[in-house]
């Protein structure tokens, strides 16, 4: 008989709410490449210009929305390999965020086997496109990271005599 239990889906986008920390705009700094980055958005956008002066300009942006805008500005020279490295850059940023903040790690692990979906009409690559037609790559990378963290985390001992 097929399992009638619906698979849990957790949608996120805004920095508010129970899963607001899944947003790249959430105010959780990370330490990568020997520098402190105000948000994962700052890191991700700046890596489009790795090794160039624009990288540091984006890192210093006052807010994540400004870092995003700067990163999307095609007047800045995008690194040639960006399309082939962007998912790894994002995964590196997420790994830093969820391993450098124990509270966030607990929230991610606490999602169990839920499908994580960045629910937004504004993005059909990292998000679901608002109608499920998008690739939801951010959600997929978070689920991949959750599985990695599970493998690393010691399992609590089973209670005897239960």
Note the pLDDT of residue 162. 47
Judged on CB neighbours under 10 Å (0-12, 13-18, 19+), 90 is: buried
Note the pLDDT of residue 6. 58
Note the pLDDT of residue 17. 86
Question: What CATH homologous superfamily does 9-152 map to?
Answer: YbiA-like (1.10.357.40)
Note the pLDDT of residue 159. 62
pTM exceeding the 0.85 threshold for the entire prediction: yes
Cα separation of 30 and 43, whole Å? 8
> 88: closest CA among 141, 51, 35?
141
Judged on CB neighbours under 10 Å (0-12, 13-18, 19+), 151 is: exposed
Tens-digit pLDDT string for the chain (162 aa)? 555 555 699 999 999 988 999 999 999 999 999 999 999 999 999 999 999 999 999 999 999 999 999 999 999 999 999 999 999 999 999 999 999 999 999 999 999 999 999 999 999 999 999 999 999 999 999 999 999 999 987 666 556 654
Note the pLDDT of residue 29. 98
Note the pLDDT of residue 82. 98
Q: Where are the domains of the chain?
A: 9-152
């Amino acid at each position: 008989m097929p399992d009638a239990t619906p698979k849990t889906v957790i949608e996120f986008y805004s920095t508010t709410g129970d899963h607001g920390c899944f947003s790249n705009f959430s105010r959780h700094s990370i330490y990568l490449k020997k520098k402190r980055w105000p948000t994962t958005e700052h890191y991700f956008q700046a890596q489009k210009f790795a090794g160039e002066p624009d990288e540091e300009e984006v890192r210093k942006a006052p807010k994540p929305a400004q870092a995003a805008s700067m990163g999307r500005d095609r007047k800045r020279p995008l690194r040639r390999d960006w399309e082939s490295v962007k998912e790894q850059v994002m995964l590196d940023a997420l790994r830093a965020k969820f391993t450098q903040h124990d509270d966030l790690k607990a929230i991610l692990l606490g999602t169990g086997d839920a499908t994580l979906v960045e629910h937004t009409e504004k993005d059909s690559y990292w998000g679901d496109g608002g109608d499920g037609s998008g690739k939801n790559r951010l959600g997929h990378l978070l689920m991949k990271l959750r599985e990695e963290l599970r493998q690393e985390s010691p399992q609590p001992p089973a209670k005897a005599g239960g």
